[in-house]
Structure 1
Amino acid sequence: MASKQRSKTNAKNASPGAAPAARNSTGDTFFGWDGDVLVVNILGKPAASKDAIGKPKGTQLKVSVTAAPKDGKATDHMVRFLAPLFGVAVSDIEVVFGRENVNKQLRIRSPKKLPPVFDSEAS
């Protein structure tokens, strides 16, 4: 029942196949907090020319990685790329869903810092 309720809540803001939006106090956005865990919805771009965090696109954050999209290797590379940007160990990032899909959700345990794109969304 919770999944039906979640999909109704975010259906108007999500594109087909997009991850449900995490919610924070400012409304629908690409991230939210679950206690000390940061929940981030990602729109991945594998086989990019460089590893980079892009701009939010609706309820997802664009993240490009150089790794090819084969057997979840691009997602594994993304986690290794993001860990130092959040000041956490790779083991502190959980891929909730989307390991072999461009639409994914990550849970980052107790991030020590946030990339600048989070500052613009928090205000």
Structure 2
Amino acid sequence: MAKPKARALADLSDLAQPGAEITVRVTPKAAYNAVLRQGDVIKVMVTTVPEGGKATADVAALLARALGVAPSQITLRRGATSRDKTFVLTEQ
């Protein structure tokens, strides 16, 4: 899978610690890909349609880029079919 390009990518490297749980609010079918931080809320916008987990995979890839970690270090813990998702960082 190709890396999704992001128009706006917030720096979330301060959250990149093994075992950290990161909760995001997802907007599928957006006009562009972006990771935005508004206070304590992290919003991830992806252009992908929410079919068969494609949008969730793109969210994980964008989140990994914003955190500065490999995509294999991010695992979905909660919210496979929800707009509110919780990811956990694993150690590598």
> What is the TM-score with the length of structure 1 in the denominator?
0.53
Contact 2:33 2:47 in 1 (8 A): yes
Identity of aligned residues (%): 28
Count of matched residue pairs: 76
Q: Which has the higher contact order (CA 8 A, sep 6+)?
A: 2
Matches within 5 A, 1:1-123: 36-56=18-38, 60-109=41-90
Aligned residue for 1:107, secondary structure, equals strand
SS at match of 1:37: coil
Unaligned runs of 5+ in 2: 1-14
Aligned twin of 1:14: none
Give the Cα separation in 1 of the matches to 2:59 and 2:82.
12
CA RMSD of aligned residues (A): 2.1
Report deviation, 1:75. Answer: 0.7
**Following superposition, which runs of at least 4 residues in structure 1 exceed 3 angstroms of deviation?**
none
Quote how far apart the aligned CAs of 1:81 are. 1.6
